[in-house]
Structure 1
Amino acid sequence: MPDTAPIYSSRQLVEVVRPLDRPQQFLVNLFFPGARLFDTRRVDFHVLNMAREVAKYVHPESVAVPQAERGFKIDSFEPAYLKPLTPLTPSSMLDIRPGERVGGEMSPLERRADRISQILLDQEAQVMRRVEAMASTILATGAITVQSDEFPTSTISFGREAGQTLALTTTARWGESGVSPSQNLRTWSQTVATNSGAVVDTCVMGGEAFELLVAEQSFRDRLDNRRQNDGDINLFQSPKGTDAWGSYQGTVGNIDYFTYSQPYTEGGVAKNMMHPHGVILGSRRQMQGVVAYGAILDDEALIPARWWPKMYRVHNPSRVFIESASAPLPVPSRVNAAMYVQVR
């Protein structure tokens, strides 16, 4: 229980303990590292069709037969819109801020500036967290569903092959007798290569899935958890760029293995970016994933931007509203360069 001692009791502020809740964009950094800013409502991608036909045998004296050139398709998407809004009332400027002594030592204007700064940081974190959640869903399903109380539910599908979203059942699940997780991974890597032409180089797993994988002796024998750069061996577990929620576990062949778990809430409901038995297998180098940011639909903006913070006032009653607009959409340019399996 908090201390409720009367105001005349002596006391000393030890420190301000801030929550460790800053979001980390682990999946975005791995699979969608690029950012493209647009000043349009929709964003387009031209995707060339796969062409694996071999040249035909012909007689040297025969007439060559014309063939169709490689075609392409146009993928067009409209990014979802985000607009977190926080009101700021005059009375809130009269309450002490974290770190202030009892009775207060900041002026109302100083508290106002401090609150605005914290609100903007929190709104930016909300946007970052949403983009990471979108990336997680797209990697798991090849699509994203946008839901709101204000408009009908819509789904943006990137057209991934149906066989690249799987859930193992009954005796095929990892941990069951006779099931080889490493053999499954080889099969799924070949599926990705066949459908996209990309070479799998990354495997992100929930903690429970990784435990089932390393229970296989043959995999443990091949797992190399050292890092070597320019001849110098790095024995630390986390390579450069790894976030706290995502941990490097080792390498087998050309595939780097990571475990990942990051909690968040949506509408007060606790969720996680990664299912504990989930496996994302893909090519972070060849998927060409980007986060596309559409135009900010604000008369004071109308420019390409990752996010657009603004403030506006209303009177009677007096209020200041702080708002941050963003229109992000993680786009897997080669959508079949990744697949997802729930292994148990």
Structure 2
Amino acid sequence: MDALSLYDTAELLQLIETVFEPEQFLVNRFFPTVHESTTTQILFDRFTENESIAPFVSPNVAGRPMRREGRFTDAFRPAYVKPKMTITPDDAFRRAAGEQVGVGTMSAQERFDIAVMMGLQKQLRSIERRLEWMAASALTRSSVTVVGDGYPSVTVDFARNPSHTIELLGDDAWSNPNVEIGDDLEDWSMLVLEATGAAATDVIMTPDVWRVLMRNSNFRELFKTFQSLGGSLPGILPAVQKRNLYKGQFGSFHLWVYQDWSRDEDGVKHKYMPPGTVTMVAAGETGVAGVQAFGAIQDIRALQPMRWFPKMFEQDDPSALVLLTQSAPLLIPVRPDATVSVQVLPPADEMGEEEADEAP
């Protein structure tokens, strides 16, 4: 095509660096490592700690062999995500966003460039939301269920200890204003510490849980007292809504309110974390050690490990350019026992009318 310049993959990758601004909270905080596989399969290790202690022996007795820490290797061929969109001649000849009305100061090539950048950004955002959804599922459920067109439903189970998935019932639920929140958090953090050697310090909760906490007078007073002793400022007042909010510290625990979501093709909103949920995580390499893994792209123009592979090609009839971005992702908690997920509130149909009305 001579009229408008097409971008090759290298130029599209440069555009990604320009337009891509990650906003994923869970991905960035708990899955910072990126692994690009050289095959269509992703191999990942899961580690277990044995906490063996050195035995006493006589100095004249041979040393005792130590059992190695457990390591299990699993393999998974990830499903593709490949958002595609068409850029038509209209995009090059009609007024671009921000261009002065009625003046037409931009050339067709400039408008075409803007259309490509906006299209690429939209595709990357959709992939970004899929990664965040995977991160939320891996942390809360310790599994990711993959299903799609031409891809049968497959659940990747990261084999978290069943005792790290908890449901609080009756008076133990946090809807009881007399529950000792601090005791629960310390108990769950100890579960992680005993399993991995790293204590859970990040507490991620849904908005309905935070509102219930603010009705717990014991928690509220302790929370405000800690902040006045030098902690970060308390986030106890209504705030401008964001998809995640840092509320401050409670003892050594960092409190986050998480409310990210996406919409399906019908525009229906789906929250990444189930309502009434608290998830505790030990972050970092000594904790969950999360990895963003990407399988090799099955495209003859790729043939190398890549996180994502964008390309453009021309369509003759009707005349258009097709922009396609391909990725084969899986987010992996290398130490799944570095997480605990707790249903702290009863389902909405079991809550009182007031709580059910307030739950998002």
Structure 1 length as normaliser, TM-score?
Answer: 0.81
Shift of 1:277: 2.0
Shift of 1:78: 3.0
Provide the rounded CA distance (Å) in 1 between the counterparts of 2:304 and 2:228: 45
Report what 1:319 is aligned to.
320
Alignment deviations for residues 62-117 of structure 1 (CA, whole Å, 9 cap, x no partner): 67666644443223333332110001222443333223344461443332221111
**What are the within-5 Å matches in structure 2 for residues 223-242 of structure 1?**
223=223, 224-225=226-227
Provide the rounded CA distance (Å) in 2 between the counterparts of 1:205 and 1:59: 52
Report what 2:160 is aligned to.
160
Report what 1:17 is aligned to.
none
Residue 263 and residue 63 in structure 1: after superposition, are their counterparts in 2 closer, same or farther (change >3 A)?
A: closer
Report what 2:208 is aligned to.
208
**What are the within-5 Å matches in structure 2 for residues 3-14 of structure 1?**
none
Q: Is 1:124 aligned to residue 119 of structure 2?
A: no
Contact 1:296 1:302 in 2 (8 A): yes
Report what 2:7 is aligned to.
none
Residue 226 and residue 148 in structure 1: after superposition, are their counterparts in 2 closer, same or farther (change >3 A)?
A: farther
Provide the rounded CA distance (Å) in 1 between the counterparts of 2:289 and 2:26: 13
Report what 2:10 is aligned to.
none
- Superposition RMSD on alpha carbons, in Å? 2.8
Residue 325 and residue 227 in structure 1: after superposition, are their counterparts in 2 closer, same or farther (change >3 A)?
A: farther
Provide the rounded CA distance (Å) in 1 between the counterparts of 2:228 and 2:40: 46
SS for the counterpart of 1:144 is strand
Q: Is 1:256 aligned to residue 225 of structure 2?
A: no
> Which deviates more from structure 2 when the two are superposed, residues 292-301 or residues 330-339?
292-301
Shift of 1:129: 1.1
Provide the rounded CA distance (Å) in 2 between the counterparts of 1:103 and 1:219: 60
Shift of 1:316: 2.2
Provide the rounded CA distance (Å) in 1 between the counterparts of 2:229 and 2:78: 38
Residue type matched to 2:51 in 1? R
Q: Is 1:185 aligned to residue 220 of structure 2?
A: no
> Which deviates more from structure 2 when the two are superposed, residues 45-54 or residues 286-295?
45-54
Shift of 1:205: 1.1
Residue 312 and residue 226 in structure 1: after superposition, are their counterparts in 2 closer, same or farther (change >3 A)?
A: farther
Q: Is 1:292 aligned to residue 293 of structure 2?
A: yes
Residue 177 and residue 217 in structure 1: after superposition, are their counterparts in 2 closer, same or farther (change >3 A)?
A: closer
Report what 1:336 is aligned to.
337
Shift of 1:177: 5.8
SS for the counterpart of 2:151 is coil
Contact 1:227 1:236 in 2 (8 A): no
Report what 1:270 is aligned to.
269
Report what 1:247 is aligned to.
245
Contact 1:24 1:129 in 2 (8 A): no
Query: Structure 1 vs Structure 2: percent identity of aligned residues?
Result: 32
Report what 1:4 is aligned to.
none
Report what 1:90 is aligned to.
89
> Which deviates more from structure 2 when the two are superposed, residues 274-283 or residues 136-145?
274-283
Provide the rounded CA distance (Å) in 1 between the counterparts of 2:305 and 2:299: 11
Residue 245 and residue 65 in structure 1: after superposition, are their counterparts in 2 closer, same or farther (change >3 A)?
A: closer
Structure 1's unaligned 5+ residue stretches are: 1-21, 238-242
Equivalent pairs counted in the alignment come to 314
Shift of 1:298: 1.4
Residue 104 and residue 298 in structure 1: after superposition, are their counterparts in 2 closer, same or farther (change >3 A)?
A: farther
More helix by share: 2
Residue 295 and residue 65 in structure 1: after superposition, are their counterparts in 2 closer, same or farther (change >3 A)?
A: closer
Residue type matched to 2:246 in 1? Y
Structure 2's unaligned 5+ residue stretches are: 1-20, 236-240, 346-360
Shift of 1:280: 1.2
Structure 2 length as normaliser, TM-score?
Answer: 0.77
Contact 1:295 1:303 in 2 (8 A): yes
Report what 1:25 is aligned to.
24
Residue type matched to 1:249 in 2? K
Contact 1:96 1:104 in 2 (8 A): no
Residue type matched to 2:125 in 1? A
Report what 1:3 is aligned to.
none
Provide the rounded CA distance (Å) in 1 between the counterparts of 2:294 and 2:136: 17
Provide the rounded CA distance (Å) in 2 between the counterparts of 1:109 and 1:69: 61
Provide the rounded CA distance (Å) in 2 between the counterparts of 1:311 and 1:104: 30
Shift of 1:56: 4.3
Contact 2:189 2:201 in 1 (8 A): no
Provide the rounded CA distance (Å) in 1 between the counterparts of 2:323 and 2:298: 16
Contact 2:249 2:255 in 1 (8 A): yes
Contact 2:189 2:200 in 1 (8 A): yes
Provide the rounded CA distance (Å) in 2 between the counterparts of 1:191 and 1:163: 8
Provide the rounded CA distance (Å) in 1 between the counterparts of 2:288 and 2:256: 18
